[in-house]
Amino acid sequence: MKKVISTTKAPGAIGPYSQAIEVNGTLYISGQVPVDPAIGKVVEGGITEQTEQVMKNIAAILEEAGYTFANVVKSTCLLSDMSNFAAMNEVYGSYYKENPPARAAFAVKELPLSVMVEIETIAVK
């Protein structure tokens, strides 16, 4: 059965999508951008600060659904510029110290709200 996951500790959906959907022990988290849910705005700073906020948003959704980063099996990272890959990777890697998930990373022409990074996540119990 499909279950919609939503928390105020991560940015609300700004379109016709859910923060996350859980089905059959698998959690599909929509792409998270570096919006601080407390203020509803993109965090100030560069790729390091933006990636940190994205990971905090993912953590909040994982927690709401009863998952942890240890349950994450796949991530897709979208970057506005591949020159930001190393800095994004450093922050991202700090959340996956053991058994990191499978991952793809792409540079795209543009991201919502003109952010530098967006990450979508799949977790399994």
Query: How would you write the pLDDT of the chain (125 residues) with one tens digit per residue?
Result: 999 999 999 999 888 999 999 999 999 999 999 999 999 999 999 999 999 999 999 999 999 999 999 999 999 999 999 999 999 999 999 999 999 999 999 999 999 999 999 999 999 99
Strands (E), the chain: 3-5, 20-23, 26-32, 35-36, 41-42, 72-79, 102-107, 117-124
Closest residue by Cα to residue 84 from 111, 107, 110: 107
* Cα–Cα distance measured from residue 45 to residue 12, given in angstroms and rounded to the nearest whole number: 21
The structural domains of the chain, with segments of one domain joined by +, span 3-124
Q: For domain 3-124, which architecture applies?
A: 2-Layer Sandwich (3.30)
* Cα–Cα distance measured from residue 13 to residue 107, given in angstroms and rounded to the nearest whole number: 23
pTM for the full model? 0.97
